[in-house]
Structure 1
């Protein structure tokens, strides 16, 4: 289906604010601003906003056309009058869009709920960090009742998501206060964009090592140069890493000597706190052994992520994972036998062929293992993934929400609480990804990067850097090229940009450090 968004009163740039919201209702539709004629299998949305001119009003209508009949098959309309608009605008608003764009989303939301019979759980929110809204409202001094009313009446967020958001923000608060009070502390991310095989849902920059390890060897040499340069810059500026995160890809594709060499390089050149947090993504059980796990722990790693995604062998085979459920259980037992580190496990709901019974069975098996953290993603099928090329579709139905409810119940039964969440484009069910943790075992890196209240130095292909000023939390972002060969030629350019951004913020928004 094609969806066209049109208006007599809104500019093209204003209309663009409504496109992403339209996708929350029509996840597989092609959405745009203009259309020639009335093609079959098409929905035309017309929306007019009368604001700030009085009388204030939002008028919208939807006309659907069917391929089978070549005739109009659906028609709906909606009107929000001045009293309704005033009621919405009377509540605290913390968004960065102007009121016309905001009212466009409110009118579009009301219309499409009527058209589709579906109410997206996150209301009109389309950004990946919904918790930022609540943090802004809280910082502005609004009471918990006023914040709840804003989420409900302004953003049209469902009550259960509003409560989830407020719980997450309360748990994050002491971490964010510490980041604010220690702006010289930063997070350092190091990316290893290589995997033993490529998962069918993956759209991240990750290269398979099935043919040769030579690219990885070249990559590690260049990465080492960047670590030395970035570490020298951090030392000169008085920056200290309070969290280190080795991600990917799959960092544990490195051999033990390669891993020990990389970590030794990090510890030598990157200034870090003695009590820093050090996470390694060990996502693939087929890349782990007793010897490698022991080497990681001996090198100072205190957080490990073992990511089964599902506990069903048929699904693991379907999505291209080169391991079995039995491999997961074996490796987890080995990891748990090593003391004094926190173990996270990742799961995905909405995987091809899986329903609510499957996720409940997976959760039951995870509960027996008693991990310290659990991160649950709703599948997002993106361009660049094999699932997208296969034409796999997302599900907006109730079953996904049932899966999410099963996840929440299981996590709480494990003694965990939600401590960070984020959303993605094309996410299944228009839901969210949630990180759970037992109290006191939350991951500081995850909170800092999601709430964008701590500077992140990203090293390696595909890594992102965010230079944050804690005075007003403005930031400048930089991204390394995803292609590892291009990265090796350009990382110095990104390092220069990091240095220039930090100097600019330090000069114009003092005090920074």
Structure 2
């Protein structure tokens, strides 16, 4: 299906603000801004001319027309699509705008989204649980409202009546933000404390749903060995200018890929290099993403803990062997149980486990069975993702349909009930494009065992220095929390040639901002 978004009153840039929300209603649709005639020409030109003029049918093109009359008086919103019509008059618009607004978009864009939110449920038969919020970090809006001094009741009404967020999601967001507050207060009071990310973009095999930059080691370890040499150079350089600038690591996160694809010797040497080179707090949070149980052994686990690792993530994704095989994981449920028990025998670290809702072939019963086994293991943290099928993944290439049914919401209810029964509470959440059911990914933790790195990177109130192929850096201005982003190339070979260039730009911006500390 092709949807052309049109308006007589909005500029093209204003109208573009509605694209993501339209896709939230119709994920499989191609939603564009082109004029109808242009779209027809584009579609016709894409057809093989050898087929002849009568052997093909153009994809159905439907017009979603919406006009916003604001700040002109009388205010109103008008729209129509597939025979459905919406008209919100001046009283409706005033009721929407009567609540606190913490967004950075113009009110015309906000009203465009509210018009779409009123119109499309008539056709789609459902309303996205997050209302007009389509961004990755809905919690940032609530933080802004909180910082502006609005009461709990005012914040709740803003979420539900201005942004159209469903009541249960508004309550969830309030809970997350309240747990984050003391952590963010600490980050704000120490702007020289930074988060460090070190990426290892290699895996034993590639999961069918994965769209991250990660390279399989099936053909040998030589690329990984070359990569570690260049990564070590970047770490040393970063440590030098961090020391000169007065920056100190509050948290260090080894992600990927799968960092534990390194040998015991390699990962011990890498962590030693980081700890000896990067200025860090005595109580630095040091996390290793040990996502694949098949990359762990007792020897490696002991080496990680002895190296100072105090947070470990063991990621089963599911506790069903048939699904693990289907998605390309090179381990079994028995491997997960064995490795987790080995890790739990080692004291004084926090263990997280990742799960994915909506994996191919899995339903409510499957997630219930997975959670029953997880509950017996009793991890300290649980991170639950709603499956997102993105370009670059095998599932996308093979055309796996996205699970958008109400079953996913039931799955999430099961997850939350189970996590709370384990004494956990939600402490961060984020959303993704193409996320199943228009839901969210949630991080849960036992009180006091929340991951500072996850909070800092999600709320974007702490500088993040990313090292390695595909790593991102966020330079945060503590005055207004505006951001400057830097991204290393995802290709590890290109990264080895270009990391110095990105490093210099990043260091210059950090030095400039740090003058205000």
TM range (shorter): over 0.9
For 1:431 and 1:84, how far apart are their aligned partners in 2? Answer: 27
For 1:306 and 1:343, how far apart are their aligned partners in 2? Answer: 7
1:360 is the counterpart of 2:368: yes
Name the stretch that deviates more: 254-263 or 497-506. Answer: 497-506
1:259 is the counterpart of 2:278: no
For 1:161 and 1:447, how far apart are their aligned partners in 2? Answer: 18
1:211 is the counterpart of 2:219: yes
**Residues 223-272 of structure 1, C-alpha deviations (whole Å, 9 max, x = no match):** 00000000001000000001110000000000011011101100111000
Q: Are 1:27 and 1:396, in contact at CA under 8 Å, matched by a contact in 2? A: no
Q: Are 1:120 and 1:430, in contact at CA under 8 Å, matched by a contact in 2? A: yes
Counterparts of residues 34-113 of structure 1 (less than 5 Å): 34=34, 35-36=36-37, 40-63=59-82, 75-113=83-121
Q: 1:432 aligns with which of 440, 443, 452?
A: 440
For 1:323 and 1:148, how far apart are their aligned partners in 2? Answer: 44
Counterparts of residues 474-513 of structure 1 (less than 5 Å): 474-506=482-514, 511=516, 513=517
For 1:344 and 1:57, how far apart are their aligned partners in 2? Answer: 49
Give the aligned partner of residue 467 of structure 1.
Answer: 475
For 1:503 and 1:184, how far apart are their aligned partners in 2? Answer: 11
Give the aligned partner of residue 72 of structure 1.
Answer: none
For 2:503 and 2:105, how far apart are their aligned partners in 1? Answer: 32
For 2:514 and 2:74, how far apart are their aligned partners in 1? Answer: 47
For 1:136 and 1:6, how far apart are their aligned partners in 2? Answer: 32
CA RMSD of superposed structures (Å): 1.0
For 1:328 and 1:44, how far apart are their aligned partners in 2? Answer: 50
1:275 is the counterpart of 2:294: no
The secondary structure found in structure 1 opposite 2:127 is coil
Q: Are 2:259 and 2:290, in contact at CA under 8 Å, matched by a contact in 1? A: yes
1:334 is the counterpart of 2:342: yes
**Residues 419-462 of structure 1, C-alpha deviations (whole Å, 9 max, x = no match):** 00000001000000000000010000000000000001000000
Give the aligned partner of residue 15 of structure 2.
Answer: 15
1:220 is the counterpart of 2:239: no
Counterparts of residues 78-477 of structure 1 (less than 5 Å): 78-477=86-485
For 2:380 and 2:433, how far apart are their aligned partners in 1? Answer: 28
Q: Are 1:466 and 1:477, in contact at CA under 8 Å, matched by a contact in 2? A: yes
Give the aligned partner of residue 24 of structure 1.
Answer: 24
**Residues 463-491 of structure 1, C-alpha deviations (whole Å, 9 max, x = no match):** 01011122221121100000000000000
Q: Mind listing any 5+ residue stretches in structure 1 that lack a counterpart?
A: 64-74
For 1:8 and 1:390, how far apart are their aligned partners in 2? Answer: 39
The secondary structure found in structure 2 opposite 1:307 is coil
**Residues 93-121 of structure 1, C-alpha deviations (whole Å, 9 max, x = no match):** 00100011110000011101111110100
Give the aligned partner of residue 71 of structure 1.
Answer: none
For 1:226 and 1:506, how far apart are their aligned partners in 2? Answer: 21
For 1:196 and 1:164, how far apart are their aligned partners in 2? Answer: 36
For 2:456 and 2:514, how far apart are their aligned partners in 1? Answer: 20
Question: Deviation at 1:219?
Answer: 0.2
Q: Are 2:245 and 2:514, in contact at CA under 8 Å, matched by a contact in 1? A: no
Question: Deviation at 1:202?
Answer: 0.3
Q: Are 1:294 and 1:338, in contact at CA under 8 Å, matched by a contact in 2? A: yes
Q: Are 1:9 and 1:48, in contact at CA under 8 Å, matched by a contact in 2? A: yes
The secondary structure found in structure 2 opposite 1:291 is helix
TM-score by length of 2: 0.95
**Residues 190-212 of structure 1, C-alpha deviations (whole Å, 9 max, x = no match):** 00000000000000000000111
Give the aligned partner of residue 48 of structure 2.
Answer: none
For 2:206 and 2:26, how far apart are their aligned partners in 1? Answer: 29
The secondary structure found in structure 2 opposite 1:53 is coil
Give the aligned partner of residue 47 of structure 2.
Answer: none
**Residues 376-424 of structure 1, C-alpha deviations (whole Å, 9 max, x = no match):** 0000100000000001121221011111111110110110000000000
TM-score by length of 1: 0.96
Give the aligned partner of residue 4 of structure 2.
Answer: 4
Q: Mind listing any 5+ residue stretches in structure 2 that lack a counterpart?
A: 41-57
For 1:389 and 1:79, how far apart are their aligned partners in 2? Answer: 40
The secondary structure found in structure 2 opposite 1:408 is helix
The secondary structure found in structure 2 opposite 1:138 is helix
**Residues 155-190 of structure 1, C-alpha deviations (whole Å, 9 max, x = no match):** 000000000000000000000000011111111000
Question: Deviation at 1:42?
Answer: 3.6
Q: Are 1:306 and 1:332, in contact at CA under 8 Å, matched by a contact in 2? A: yes
For 2:507 and 2:332, how far apart are their aligned partners in 1? Answer: 45
Question: Deviation at 1:40?
Answer: 4.9
